[in-house]
Amino acid sequence: MIPVNPDRFLADLHQLRSFGAAGVGKGVIRPAYSAPDIAARQWLAGQYGAAGLEVAVDPCGSVFGMAPGRSLLVGSHSDSQPEGGWLDGALGVICGLELARAGAEAGVPISAVSFQDEEGRFGVTTGSRVWAGHSTLEDADALVDSAGVSFAEARAAMAGMVTGPVDPARFTGFLECHIEQGPWLHEAGEAVGVVSDIVGIRDMRMTFEGEQNHAGTTPMHRRKDALQAMLRFQSLIAERFRNVVTPQTVWTTGHVEVHPGSHSIVPGRCSFSMQWRDGDADRLGRMEEIIRDAAAEVAAQMGMTLTTSAMLGLEPVPMDPALRGALEGAAEAQLPGRWRRMQSGALHDATSLAKLMPVAMLFVPSINGISHAFAEDTDEADLVAGLKVLAEAVERLAG
Ligand SMILES: [Zn+2]
């Protein structure tokens, strides 16, 4: 057994939290390239070095601790949301550190990583996407955050740490341990979840254009109220999805613009985001058909013009059968009846790496399903259970 040390692992997890510790409970504020983020990455590089790993920092600021020769890569990200919890990303990073350290002691080469800007200050999983070749560094450099700072300007703050590009061919696969960020494991009292696949995402913007008019003098039967069209559309798709979706399928309108946005004006235009996620590409397609048909029907019934943006799409990513099988075997051996196979509804760095190398993911419960909030937490017993399952899986893969 790779001799992972739970006390050392938990102490390092708390140490990482001290960079940007904020808010109530165990919250952190450690966005990509902020002073606490860079300080945390310097600390991490020191830990990798102390464990005898070769420290490398790529041009995006992703920090690697590399074992000699070819090895498995274990990690996640250490940047946080503008208001985040202490475990999102950090758990996988410290699992990587502890496994690489214990692996070195046991003669099993394991490398570790913390990718940069997973949380999307600039893009989505920017560091791992550039590393995996989904985006060039030049394209990433042009990305701008909400304050108008470019990726190029932000990453310049880490220039002193950069050692150069890191060759992905050094790694045989990628394992990422992450908090679930959903309620399923916590509700079932289970300790870990082995991810079967990461869901695909479709995302677009839709606009109903009706007729702007006076809210006091326009009788109800003469209105072309664009907000009402959006509401009718929402209830129509909810009804029609019923025969198509599973309990894991989700759809969200998270941003709505009502024009001109006045108490005394019947809104003439309503523009809104429409996003849906599922692990099955066919189902995503059937949902798209329902969405487009329902919107066209509502537009026709209510005298609206309908326009839709281009649709952005990410395909579902299945986990590698061998890596996933090792996690399942380890979970069954250590936690019989206390684990499950499950989908990931959130994107992770593993998504970026899937075309480059075999990837698999392990989840531990999020208490009350809360994440991207200061209140995010997991029982320490479950954190350690995740570490031990990961350690056994790595050993199964090595042997
Ligand atoms: Zn994360």
The per-residue pLDDT for 359 is 98
pLDDT at 1: 79
Measured in Å, residue 195 CA sits from the centre of ligand 1 at 14
Output the CA 229–ligand 1 centroid distance in Å. Answer: 36
Element (H, E) at 333: helix 321-334
Banded model confidence at residue 100, pLDDT cuts 50, 70, 90: very high
Q: What is the pLDDT of residues 153-185, one digit of tens each?
A: 999 999 999 999 999 999 999 999 999 999 999
The CA 23 to ligand 1 mean position distance, Å, reads 19
H helices, E strands: number in the chain: 12, 17
pLDDT computed for residue 25 by the predictor: 82
Question: In this predicted model, what pLDDT tens digit does every residue of 52-68 receive, in sequence order?
Answer: 999 999 999 999 999 99
Q: Residue 194: pLDDT band by 50, 70, 90 thresholds?
A: very high
Strand partners, 198: 317, 344
CA distance 315 to 343: 14
Question: Is the pLDDT confidence value at 23 over 90?
Answer: no
Q: How far is the CA of 35 from the centre of ligand 1 (A)?
A: 19
* Ligand 1 centroid distance, CA of 305 (Å): 39
DSSP-derived letter for residue 168 is G
Average pLDDT over residues 32-38: 98
pLDDT at residue 399, rounded to an integer: 76
- Cα-to-centroid distance, 66 and ligand 1 (Å): 22
Give pTM, 2 decimals.
0.89
Q: What is the pLDDT of residue 381?
A: 97
Please report the pLDDT score of residue 124 as a whole number: 83
The answer to whether the beta carbons of residues 64 and 58 sit under 8 Å apart is yes
How far is the centre of ligand 1, averaged over its atoms, from the C-alpha of 231 (Å)?
33
What separation in Å is there between the alpha carbon of 390 and the centre of ligand 1?
17
Cα of 83 from ligand 1 centre, angstroms? 13
Residue-wise pLDDT tens digits, 118-157: 999 998 899 999 999 999 999 999 999 989 999 999 999 9
Alpha-carbon distance of 178 to 96, in angstroms, equals: 11
Ligand 1 geometric centre to CA of 211 (Å): 43
Question: 306 alpha carbon to ligand 1 midpoint, in Å?
Answer: 36
Q: What pLDDT does residue 59 have?
A: 98
Residue 24 has pLDDT above 90, yes or no: no
- Find the 88 Cα to ligand 1 centroid distance in Å: 4
Q: Using one digit for the tens of pLDDT, what is the confidence trace for 367-378?
A: 999 999 999 999
How far apart are the CA of 175 and the centre of ligand 1, in A? Answer: 14
CA of 216 to the centre of ligand 1 (A): 49
215-254 per-position pLDDT tens digit: 999 999 999 999 999 999 999 999 999 999 999 999 999 9
Chain-centre distance of CA 385, in angstroms? 22
The C-alpha atoms of residue 158 and residue 42 are separated, in whole angstroms, by 10
pLDDT of residue 184: 95
Does the pLDDT of residue 71 top 80, yes or no?
Answer: yes
- Rounded to the nearest whole angstrom, what is the distance from the C-alpha of residue 17 to the centroid of ligand 1? 14
Residue found by looking up tokens 């008019």 in the block: 213
How close is the Cα of 91 to the center of ligand 1, in Å? 9
Rounded distance from Cα 87 to ligand 1 centre (Å): 8
Mean pLDDT of 295-305: 98
What is the percentage of the chain residues whose pLDDT exceeds 70? 100
Ligand 1: centre distance to CA 118 (Å):
7
Measure the CA dihedral 256/248/244/269, to 10°: 0
Query: What is the distance in A from the centroid of ligand 1 to the CA of 285?
Result: 27
